[in-house]
Structure 1
C-alpha cells in the first residue's frame, strides 16, 4: 500500500487492471470498453457492463462535437463539477448547468413544471449546446425527448442515466427509440457521477 500512497496514479492504474481481470471474457469494442470501465471504476458496480447501452456512432458524434467547440449541458451541478472542464476547454468547449438560474426557477413556477424541465427549455435555445448530460432528473430527459421530436433541437449526444424509482427507467427506454446518438443505462441505476464518468471517458479518448 505504501507505493500507492507515494504514487497515487498507481491506484487508478491498478483499479483498471482489476476491472479488466474481473470482466473476464466479457469484451466490448475499444471505445465502449473505455466508457464501461470508467463507469465501473467510479461506482465499483460491475452490473454497468450489462446495462450500459451505446448507440451506433454515439462516441464518434460526441468526439466531433467536442473537437468543434461544442458545449455540454448537465442537469445537476454535481455532474457539471465532475466533468473535466480543463480538457474540454482545450477544444473551446464549456459545461453549463442552468438548474439554479433565476429565469429557470421563474419559468418552472409560471408553467408548473420542474426546474430540470425548464433548464432544458433554456438549454436548447443556444446552438452551441451540443451534448446533453442527464444524471438525475427523468423529467429533464422526457422534456428533451419532446423537444427532439418537435424538431427544436438535435443533440450530437445525449447521456441519459437518471437514477431512481419513478420515471428513471422509463425515460431511458424512450430514448432508445429516438434517432439521436445516445448513451443510456437500462433500469433504475445511474446518477450524476455515472454521467460525468461517461463524458470524461470520451474526453480522455481525444
Structure 2
C-alpha cells in the first residue's frame, strides 16, 4: 500500500483539504474557521462546526494577548503538553499550570475541593491580560467564574472546553452569560486536545498577522 503523504506538513495540509472538502460552505469568518478547522483536525469530530461558540471579541482579544506576549494558564499538564511550543516561543508567550504544585494539593485536601479548582484560583493572577485555557476540569471553570464574580480581573480570553457529564455543560453555559471574551463548546464535548488545538490555532493566526 502506498502511504502518502508522509511528511508532517504534507499530512496536515491533506487533512485540512479533506476537512474542507467534506464540510463545503461553512459560512464562518476566516479566523473563526481557522480555529474550528483545527479543532476538527485534532478530534476527527465534525460536530464542532456547529458546537463551538465564539464571543464577538474572542479572536481579536486572543490574538492581541498573544502578540503582546501575555501568558497562557492551563487547567492541566496534559493541556500544557498539547500546546505547540514553537509558535508561542516566537511570540514570547509562557505557559503556566499549577496542578503539580504541592501547595495546591494541600489546600485542596484541607478544603475538600478539587486540585483543579485550587490551581485555577491560584493561577488566575498569572493570566492578567493573557489567556486561560480549560480542557479537562469543569471545576476549574467554575472556580474561574467564582473568582470573576468576586471581583477578580478577567483574562483577555477564556478558552473553555472542559469535557464530562457533571458540570461541564452547565459551567460552559454560565461562561456564555459573561461579558468576558470566550471560546467554548456546548454540552459535554471538549477535552485537553480540543483546548490545545484552539490555542495552537490562535498562535498560528497571531504569527501570520504579525508584521515581519
- TM-score of the pair, normalised by structure 2: 0.92
CA distance in 2, matches of 1:56, 1:171: 19
Q: 1:123 to 1:129 in 2, by over 3 A?
A: farther
Aligned to 1:109: 109
The answer (yes or no) to whether the contact 1:123–1:129 under 8 Å persists in 2 is no
CA distance in 1, matches of 2:93, 2:25: 37
How many residues align? The count is 205
- SS of 1:162's equivalent in the other structure is coil
| CA offset digits 1:169-192 (Å, max 9, x no partner) | 111000000010000000111000
* 1:66 CA displacement: 1.1
Give the unaligned 5+ runs of structure 2. Answer: 207-212
CA distance in 1, matches of 2:120, 2:170: 18
| CA offset digits 1:48-93 (Å, max 9, x no partner) | 0010111111111011111112111111111101112221122221
1:201 matches 2:201: yes
1:92-103 equivalences in 2 (<5 Å): 92-103=92-103
Aligned to 2:178: 178
CA distance in 2, matches of 1:162, 1:127: 18
| CA offset digits 1:139-194 (Å, max 9, x no partner) | 11011011112221211010110111111111100000001000000011100000
- SS of 1:184's equivalent in the other structure is strand
- SS of 1:187's equivalent in the other structure is coil
Aligned to 2:138: 138
CA distance in 1, matches of 2:24, 2:127: 43
* 1:128 CA displacement: 4.5
CA distance in 2, matches of 1:144, 1:112: 17
Q: Which one is further off, 117-126 or 178-187?
A: 117-126
Q: CA RMSD in A?
A: 1.3
Give the unaligned 5+ runs of structure 1. Answer: none
The answer (yes or no) to whether the contact 2:75–2:119 under 8 Å persists in 1 is yes
